[in-house]
Structure 1
Amino acid sequence: MPLSRVGLLHLLVVYLVWSSTYLAFKIGLLSGFEPFWMGATRFIPAALLLLLYARWRGWSLRLDGVMGKKLAISGGLLWLGGNGLILLATQYVPSGYVALMIATAPIWAATLEGWLDRKRPPGLLILGLLVGLLGILALNVPKLSAGVPTNLLAFVLLLISPLMWAAGTIYTQRQISSLQPEVVSGYQQLFGGLGFLVLSWVMGEQWHSPTLWGWVSNLYLIVFGSLVAYTSYILAVRLLPLSLVTTYAYVNPVIALLLGWAFLQEPLGVWTWIGALLVLLGVGLVFRSRMRPSVQGTP
């Protein structure tokens, strides 16, 4: 059966836009944005636009206390934990390096699912985890050997960030299924954005006006990162096999690495390429191990 051309077009949008968000993070931070202030000014407007769209479609926006709590928890894990730590780390290291570290999210997701389901992990999954961790180590050899404290801080933040994103994704899948995806995303981004706003105030960030490029990068993240690419991802999942859609985890970090090199002259050393290949190989092995049961069970 031929693949949907419309679905492939939406997948291409996911490839290009989600890859470029790491470059937009870096440009925004270099152009005067403080990390949490940038997150607040991105996610609150994006959330309001999504919720206005949901209202226009006639979908219910009413929440009870239990669902509100679940959306707040998942929004905190995904956006404050997953995205917020990325913003903090991006201040200290190249955007391509950030994207490669975040590519380990599927590895952490597979690990968490195995632990929650109390299932013995297959050998291929264990191999994928080990290869991915070797890739992380290779990526960090030149940075950690330099002994710079900010490199170590970025390394820790970028280990925790994909773990938080994976936890938030699994929590959303297992606890929140009765609402439209746009409504879920809108509330999650709203709670996350409000959390960013509070943290920005608590941390004493300066709310000064960034440069024009800072606002352009944040507007790009709002329109394309939070709205267009998210919608394309949902449509790609509906029109294409999931195993094909999830290849964005392979493609995004590679494109992000090249964008950082092309636009910000971020260096690409031998250890970067070794680490990149190992991380992507590890993610690929994890995906293959997760697809095996469904393939074997097909009549």
Structure 2
Amino acid sequence: MTLSRAGLFHLVVVYLVWSSTYLAFKIGISNGFEPFWMGATRFIPAALLLLGFAVWQRWRVRLSWAEAGMLALSGVVLWLGGNGLILIATQYVPSGYVALMISTAPIWAAILEGLLNRKRPPGLLIIGLLIGLLGILALNVPKLNAGSPTNLLAFALLFISPLLWASGTIYTQRKSPQLQAVVISGYQQLFAGLGFLLLSPLLGEAWHTPTLAGWAANLYLIVFGSLIAYTSYIFAVRLLPLSLVTTYAYVNPVIALLLGWLFLREPLGIWTVAGAALVLLGVGLVFRSRMKSVVQTTPQP
């Protein structure tokens, strides 16, 4: 089968840009942004740009109350919960570690879908889950040994974050309204951005003026993370096999780990390398199990 060159181009964009967002998180947080203040200043402008584009395209943007409630709930779980916890944890741990912990989202998605469908999980999925959890343990051996409260907090937040992201993704897939993908994403990010804006002062965040590097990191997240990479992801899904597109879940953490080491001199110890290998192997086995399940249940012509 010949793969679309345009599709491969967009997949490379997803690989590189989404991998680099963890580096941008770290730069922004380290240069004057409080976590939720950074979330608000990223997601509200990105949402308005997406919805403005939808209006220009004359797509339906008016929501019913039921649609607004669904998009508010999914946006809060995905972005305010999943991404907000990442921003808090990024204050305390390296960006590569954050990316590796978040890469477990497909494992949690497989577990949740199995519970919702009330089906016994395949053996390969169970093996992938156990290997992935072993990788999480290996990643956290140095941090747990140190016993630092901030390390323990970061571990807890990054354990919960991919679970929230998986939950929000499944909810969006099952309850998604009949709207363009750009409209759905725009509203999800808008509701999340408003949540960030509301919670930031309630949590006592000081709205300091970030440095130029902090604003540059946030602008990068708006333009490249929320707009360009998202659009490339949509094109990649349309032009390439889904099994190929979903490889971003275990390519991104590797690139993020290397970017953190290259630009921020984040350490790459033996436990990090071993944990990374186990987490990515676990995620890969989960993907393989799910693709085999799809093939076995697809009617033959």
In 2, the alpha carbon distance for the partners of 1:95 and 1:171 equals 28
In 2, the alpha carbon distance for the partners of 1:244 and 1:218 equals 29
Amino acid at match of 1:76: V
Pair 1:238 & 2:238 matched: yes
Q: 1:65-118: CA deviations, max 9, x gaps? A: 111000000000100111000000000000000000000000000000000111
**Corresponding residue number in structure 2 for 1:252:** 252
2:67–2:177 Cα contact (<8 Å) kept: no
Amino acid at match of 1:220: Y
In 2, the alpha carbon distance for the partners of 1:98 and 1:114 equals 26
**Corresponding residue number in structure 1 for 2:100:** 100
**Corresponding residue number in structure 2 for 1:279:** 279
Q: How far off is 1:298 after superposition?
A: 6.0
What are the ranges of 5 or more consecutive residues in structure 2 without an aligned counterpart? none
Q: TM-score, normalised by structure 1?
A: 0.99
Count of matched residue positions in the alignment of Structure 1 and Structure 2? 299
**Corresponding residue number in structure 1 for 2:154:** 154
* Aligned ranges 1:122-271 → 2 under 5 Å: 122-271=122-271
Q: 1:219-245: CA deviations, max 9, x gaps? A: 000000000000000010000000000
In 2, the alpha carbon distance for the partners of 1:205 and 1:121 equals 43
In 2, the alpha carbon distance for the partners of 1:298 and 1:175 equals 25
Q: How far off is 1:270 after superposition?
A: 0.1
**Corresponding residue number in structure 2 for 1:29:** 29
Amino acid at match of 1:293: S
Q: Percent identity between the aligned chains?
A: 77
SS in 2 for 1:63: coil
Q: How far off is 1:293 after superposition?
A: 2.2
Amino acid at match of 1:63: L
**Corresponding residue number in structure 2 for 1:79:** 79
Amino acid at match of 1:125: L
In 2, the alpha carbon distance for the partners of 1:284 and 1:135 equals 13
In 2, the alpha carbon distance for the partners of 1:209 and 1:231 equals 30
Q: How far off is 1:177 after superposition?
A: 3.9
In 2, the alpha carbon distance for the partners of 1:78 and 1:294 equals 25
Amino acid at match of 1:140: N
In 2, the alpha carbon distance for the partners of 1:20 and 1:4 equals 24
**Corresponding residue number in structure 2 for 1:121:** 121
- Provide the aligned C-alpha RMSD in A: 0.7
Amino acid at match of 1:210: P
Q: How far off is 1:208 after superposition?
A: 1.6
What are the ranges of 5 or more consecutive residues in structure 1 without an aligned counterpart? none
Q: How far off is 1:295 after superposition?
A: 2.4
Q: How far off is 1:250 after superposition?
A: 1.1
In 1, the alpha carbon distance for the partners of 2:111 and 2:136 equals 16
Amino acid at match of 1:218: N
Pair 1:12 & 2:12 matched: yes
In 1, the alpha carbon distance for the partners of 2:280 and 2:149 equals 27
Q: How far off is 1:57 after superposition?
A: 0.3
